[in-house]
Amino acid sequence: MLSESDRSLAGLRRALDSGALTARALAESYIARIEDLDHKTKAVIELNPRALDDAEALDADLSHGAVKGPLHGIPVMVKDNLNTAAPMTTTAGSLALEGLTVKEDATVVARLRAAGAVILGKTNLSEWANFRSARSSSGWSSRGGQTRNPYALDRTPGGSSSGSGVAVAAGYCAAAIGTETDGSIVSPAAMNGIVGIKPTVGLISRRGIIPVTHSQDTAGPMARSVADAALVLGVLAGSDAGDPATAEADRRGKRDYTASLDPGGLKGARIGCLPGLAAIHAGAAAILDGNLRAIREAGAEVVEGIALPEAEAVRPLEFQVMITEFKAGLNAYLAEFAADVAPKDLTALIAFNEARREQVMPYFPQDLLEKAEATAGLDDSIYCNARRDCLRLIREEGIDRVMAERELDALVVPTTCAPWLIDWVNGDNRSGSSAYLAAVSGYPSITVPAGYLFGLPIGLSFIARAYEEAALIRFAFAFEQATKVRIPPPFAETANLQPCPSPPGD
């Protein structure tokens, strides 16, 4: 395989343009790595049988000087809840959709192809984007099995974009696409030691993506560096008539985000710090202390004493929004794309799972699907009031208020906890996440590798207001260049349980 620096998108672009590497050879090298290592991680749910043919066609174009775009010839993987045209299937990891093919790519996939990307395959995920059971195991699906963290194979990869995070970290592709409703890009990115961008809701089209919650759903890039993620974000962003939420995207957000890659980008910025997980974990506190020192040394002013509503204050309201919108969104998706070959609605899906309980539900049930089925629709006052109160708490009285009052350019907070042990009996053992802030508000965030706890990756998130992705990329890139902490995963059987660093002052 190529070296880490050569595997950057810029490095691959140089090698392809110079003729030192062909798109077919590059795709073959990634496929060989998947075949060699993915039996350990189960990040890839399906390879594209046409990937090598697609790569050869792109080589032919390049030999005639025809370059489609910045990803010409570069292998990218996409989460298995994004429509990919036949012969690939789209299943959200569920046996209920096994064999489902669609005629057209999701808008996100079409934009990747238009930019010249080779769609190498689909990545595993937490089944139904982690919306089947409150007692689920992140990265497990009935179709794909359990995805595992390449830093410690007995640890969670985070979810629900589990396979995308692992595929990028493990070097199975140059970049990948995940989706997020609440934490599903930034959490697996942080837990796999990579960069993930959760964009403003409405910057990227959701057309052709199996939904969870239209108020919060978005696709986004996952990559090994801020520069790579920024390049892919520019390919994906923009308005789409197939998703009315993107009406403002061309005017407010579409741009070349690589123009924001300024190593001095933190100079003069006011960054508000939220302790998050660091308030309850000594090792995380030590990592955050070093991160804040690096941010200050890079020229920013760190403003402490920031307070925002805790997750517990908004979680019941967000949950009501999610279960209500899931039922409406999934029924609409199945009616359009899957009615002839799969359960035609949520009622039929629940029945399918129950009839095949031993295959589909060997470890945990479908309680979230059942609660969604019991909701009364998008006109129900309980739902409408919950969505209104979500925005009031997190956006109007939360992020908007504190950023205005403290004159902040962005917030910074540990992304989530370190990866926990995989547990099919009790489910995920989360001990903290800041993802709800950007998720509920619909605002953008970016997570960057920030350190290691017992050899397990920890991420740091920068959060800002709507369509401020360019500023976040500027801050995140400057932080990344100042710290450069990322190390490739060792595929260890378990974590390196050496003593943690002591918190400052001990």
What phi and psi, each to the nearest 5 degrees, are found at residue 243? Answer: -140, 100
**DSSP track, 446-474:** EEEEEEEETTEEEEEEEE-STT-HHHHHH
CB 177 within 8 A of CB 221: yes
- Exactly one of 8, 94, 162, 184 is catalytic; name it: 184
- The angle at the Cα of 272, spanning 268 to 273, to the nearest 5 degrees, equals 125
- Annotated catalytic residue 160: yes
Q: Which residues contact 125 (CB under 8 A, 6 or more apart)?
A: 45, 79, 80, 81, 92, 93, 139, 141, 144, 147, 159, 160, 161, 162, 163, 164
- Is 335 in contact with 94 (CB distance < 8 Å)? no
Question: Containing H/E element for 307?
Answer: none
Instruction: Clarify whether 371 is annotated catalytic.
Output: no
**How many beta carbons lie within 10 A of that of residue 89, not counting itself?**
18
Out of 160, 187, 239, 461, the active site residue is 160
**First and final C-alpha spacing in the chain:** 43
Residue 420 is given by DSSP the state P
Query: Three-state SS string across 110-151, please?
Result: HHHHHCCCEEEEEECCCHHHHCCCCCCCCCEECCCEECCCCC
In sequence order, what DSSP letters do the residues of 9-58 get, joined into one string?
A: HHHHHHHHHHTSS-HHHHHHHHHHHHHHHHHHH--EEEE-TTHHHHHHHH
Whether 225 is catalytic: no
- Which positions are catalytic? 79, 160, 184
